[in-house]
Amino acid sequence: MIEHPTMKTTRPLIVAAMLAVAPFASAKELNLFAWSEYIPQSVIDGFTEETGIKVNYETYDSNEAMIAKLVGGGGEYDLIQPSEYAVEALAQAGRLEVIDRANVPNFANLSPQYLDQPFDAGNKFSVPYMVGTVGIAVNTEKVKEPVAGYADFFSDKYKGRLVVLDDGREIVSWALAAKGRSINDITAETLAEVKPLIASWLKNVKLFDSASPKTALLNGEVDMGIVWSGEGAILVQEDAKFAYILPKEGAHMFIDSLCIPKGAKNKAAAEAFINYILKPEVSKIISDEFPYTNPNLEARKLLTEEQLKNGASYPAAGKLETFKEIGEVSSLIDDLITELKSDL
């Protein structure tokens, strides 16, 4: 099962507390805290075989859960895998180590398209791991009319035939895009503006599922879904009847990165791991198992034509934005979506 690693956006990040990190038992260890089902075991095993460094791999299912454990002192980690807005929040709070680029020569393999982003100008604190989008998956055998965006998707004619991500910020971002606003233009006023639109949309939804929205599409329970692009890529791979579409109004592009928490005791091991996964042959293994957009240009040269032509993994150009850290206003999103769901 692939779950976007961006099941992630509904609570404020609490990053002002100190990240307590204690010494580890051995310098030959790497304590990795990352998204579940996102790093192939073969990659971890290969790193240990090459370097002799044992990897202790613990997983989380949201950026908020990761941050909470870090600031709560519940874990001692050398490497984490935050998404763009979480990188921004952690960096602003001084909770990330500067990555020594001399120890990561394979950084040169990365596409400039995903570097020097607003959430970490100059990539002082982060190295892109995988990139994705949130788009519309369509069973073209069941849906014969063109679907170009959110208005088409949420049409009353498809009532009870839809699955969408169970993620408040994602849902709000679709409505903001439909209103011609930035997906980061989140205030009490803009939420009030989009509330009626979201209410009209949600009544047509059959399922809310962030973990595996592709499942309902594969088993025929629904005919369309708004899904993570990795899920969309698997649908396209498994059956040619599925298509993946970036909404014309605009969509979220997420960039999941590797970062080193402030005070990590095995920083050199963390940098060695980052460099290892940026090897083209290693990065290809990640793409084979988790078909998101690989930011590693040298690894892309090793992918098959079929992989590169998958419109979910490598979609045509569209209007894309990354999420910005929005702080406490995210609680307003929680309240809005909870209220609207209670009325269903």
Integer Cα distance of 71 and 15 in angstroms? 7
Distance of alpha carbon 164 from alpha carbon 206, whole angstroms: 8
pLDDT tens-digit series, residues 171-203:
999 999 999 999 999 999 999 999 999 999 999
- What is the residue-averaged pLDDT of the chain? 91
Helices (H) and strands (E) in the chain, counts: 13, 10
Q: Phi and psi (nearest 5°) for 146?
A: -60, 140
Residue 2: predicted pLDDT: 46
* Residue 12 near residue 328, CB atoms below 8 Å: yes
For each of the domains in the chain, give its residue range(s) and CATH number, in order of start.
29-130+255-308 (3.40.190.10), 132-252+318-342 (3.40.190.10)
pLDDT at 142 over 50: yes
pLDDT(77) > 90: yes
Helix-helix angle 280-289:267-277, to 10 degrees? 80
pLDDT, average across residues 128-134: 97
Query: Rounded distance, CA 342 to CA 210, Å?
Result: 19
What does the pLDDT look like over 260-307, one tens digit per residue? 999 999 999 999 999 999 999 999 999 999 999 999 999 999 999 999
Q: How confident is the model at residue 259 (pLDDT cuts 50, 70, 90)?
A: very high
pLDDT tens-digit map of 87-111: 999 999 899 999 999 999 999 999 9
Residue whose token pair is 């998958």? 310
Q: Check pLDDT > 80 for residue 341.
A: yes
CB atoms inside a 10 Å sphere around CB 220: 10
**Given this model, what pLDDT does residue 11 score?**
40
| Residue 225 vs residue 2, higher pLDDT | 225
What is the reported pLDDT for 10? 40
Distances 83 to 89, 105, 126, 128, 257 between C-alpha atoms, Å: 10, 22, 10, 9, 6
Percentage of residues of the chain with pLDDT beyond 90: 82
Average pLDDT of the residues in 71-83: 87
Spell out the residues 6+ positions from residue 108 whose beta carbon is closer than 8 angstroms to its own. Answer: none
The Cα 22–Cα 282 span in angstroms is 31
Give the per-residue pLDDT at 61: 80
The encoded tokens of residue 207 equal 């399922």
pLDDT of residue 72: 79
- Residue 74 — pLDDT band, cuts 50, 70, 90? low
pLDDT at residue 257 is higher than 70:
yes
Given a cut of 70, is residue 217 above it in pLDDT?
Answer: yes
Residue pLDDT, tens place only, 9-42? 444 444 433 333 333 344 699 999 998 889 999 9
**According to the model, what pLDDT value does residue 316 have?**
84
Q: Which of 5-18 are b and which e, b meaning 16 or more Cβ less than 10 Å from the residue's Cβ?
A: bbbbbbbbbebeee
Quick one: pLDDT at residue 277?
Answer: 98
Q: Are 164 and 7 in contact (CB under 8 A)?
A: no
Estimate the share of the chain in helix, then strand, then coil, as percent rounded to the nearest 5. Answer: 40, 20, 40
pLDDT at 102: 98
pLDDT attached to residue 27: 62
The 10s digit of each residue's pLDDT in 143-154 is 999 999 999 999
Residue with tokens 């839809």: 162
> Of 299, 293, 307, 301, whose CA–CA distance to 276 is shortest?
299
Label the pairing between strands 251-258 and 162-164.
Answer: unpaired
